[in-house]
Structures are given as structure tokens and as C-alpha cells.
Chains A and B, each alone.
Chain A
Amino acid sequence: MDDTGTVVAFYVLSALTIASAMGVVVVRNLIHAVVFLILSFMGVAGLYITLSADFVAVTQVLIYAGAVSVLILFAIVLTPTGDRGNQETFLRLPALLLALLVAFTLGYVAIDTDWAISDREGFQQTASVIGEALLDKYVLPFEIASVLLLVAMMGAIMLVRPESGVEGE
């Protein structure tokens, strides 16, 4: 990936993603943190596009920037007298040290390892190939995922249902 547009897009999107993620850490209001989180998700979707992963990029925008962030907002709104702040606990310093350690370790390993790089071009189309793979090679995980989603949905409904569920009877 040598053309100038891709390089510029990569650096801009990486800066956006990481700066927004830092914003989630720094900002003091939980609602603002969710807004920064959405921005970070959009940045990751842009990075997917620079990797010619169009289907995953669209899924990212739909599921993360759309559904998951709205779920998080709902969780904040449904806890009205709860704390709207975004403070850290007493674990702040150990967590910071551990996060820095993880970042340096992963970064060092990523640079130091000699990956088997291929010289193929970017993918032409991914959605049809992913769809065929899901219904052919990965049909069993696909079905298990649907059962998992059903169980998660039923579990979430069961958990937040009001205690007095007998009005209808």
C-alpha cells in the first residue's frame, strides 16, 4: 500500500481512533465518553476500509457505532440516579502500568516478528466470499451464533423484567 492517499488516510484515521479512545479515558462525563467511543468506532471502520474490508467496515458501523453505543447510552439513561462521572478507582496506577506494559510488549512483538507477508493486492469483493464461507465451511458456527444471540436476547429480557410480572394474569 504505497499510494499517498492510503498512507494519509491511515495516519489520519489512526490518529482519530487513538485520540478518541484517549478521550474516553480523559473526559469526565459519561455521555461525552460514549460520544468519543462512537468516534473511535468510526475511526476503526475507516481503518477497515483502508484494508479493503468493505463488509466488515459496514458491519462495524451498523453494530458498534449503531447498536452497541445505543445500548450503552440506554444503560446510562436507565440508571438515572447513578453516578454520571467517569472517574477511576484506586487501581488507576497499576492499571496504567499494566496497560503500558501490554502496549510495549505487543508493539515490540509485532515489530520484531518476521511475518510471512504476501504481496497480493487488496480484495476485490469480500461480501460474497464471506457469505459463501458462512453458509458452506462455517455453517455450524453460524448456527451456533444464532442460538447464542437468541439466548443472549432472552437472558437480557429475563434480567431486566420487572419483579411483579403477574399483572397480566
Chain B
Amino acid sequence: MSVDLDHYLIVGAILFSVGLYLALAKRNFVGVLMGIELMFNAVNLTFVAFSRFVQSPNPLDGHVFVVFVITVAAAEAATALALAVLLYRVRNTINVDRIDLLKW
């Protein structure tokens, strides 16, 4: 028995799908954000797995990219959660199905 690239890619695919389901289906804004963070994690796992297993002149560039993705994800989380708090202040709810001002 051995572990190779396919195993990691399948774990990444499952994790991404779970995150996608969370982001699409959850009623709470914070739940949607948790789904987005899970999707970031799945993509990062795929990056690191490719960096470890696939031929490349600079294999560690995948790790550098993951560091940038984590940076952008942290910035995204901070801004989105500030938006959640602001939304709660204005509308007194963070359920995404009750934020329907633009709905005709």
C-alpha cells in the first residue's frame, strides 16, 4: 500500500465539495464563510500535493503560492466578518435568505 498524488487530490475534491455545499446552502452568513474557508483549504492541500509529487524545476513554488493564498484568505475573512457585523447592525439578522433588499 502506498499513498500517492491521486489520494490527496481526492481528499481535496471531497473537502472542496463539502465547502461548496456549505457556501451555497447554509442560511447563516457565518456558515457560508466557513464553507469558503474550507474551499480555500482544499485548494491549498491540492497545491501542496502537486508541489510534492509532480515534476518541476522549482517544486517549492507551490508552497510560496499557498502562503499567498493564506494571506489573501486572512484578508478576506477579516473583511467579510466585518461586513457580517455591519449587516447585523443594520438589519438585525445575518441570515442570508432574509437579506433580500434587491429582490424584486
Binding site for B on A (CB under 8 A): 1-2, 4, 6-7, 10, 14, 17-18, 21-22, 24-25, 30, 33-34, 37, 40-41, 44, 47-48, 50-53, 55-56, 59-60, 63-64, 67-68, 71-72, 74-76, 78-79, 81-83, 85-92, 94-96, 98-100, 102-103, 106-107, 110-111, 115-118, 120, 122-123, 126, 129-130, 133-134, 138, 141, 145, 148-149, 151-153, 155-157, 159-160
Contacts and interface: CB of A to CB of B under 8 A. Distances in A.
15 contacts: A30-B28, A37-B38, A47-B45, A51-B48, A59-B67, A72-B33, A72-B37, A78-B85, A89-B96, A90-B97, A99-B18, A103-B14, A110-B5, A118-B59, A133-B58
Most buried by A among B1, B75, B93: B75
Interface of B: 1-22, 24-28, 30-31, 33-35, 37-38, 41, 44-45, 48-49, 51-56, 58-61, 63-64, 66-68, 70-79, 81-86, 88, 92-97
Contact of A2 (B2, B16, B35, B58): B2
B25 A88 contact: yes
Nearest to B7: A10
A64 B25 contact: no
Given A25-B18, A51-B48, A145 B68 contact: yes
A72 B17 contact: no
A149 B24 contact: no
Contact of B22 (A24, A76, A145, A153): A24
Contacts of B28: 30, 82-83, 85-87
Contact of B81 (A75, A98, A157): A75
Nearest to B25: A95
Nearest to A103: B17
A83 B94 contact: yes
B71 to A, nearest CB: 5
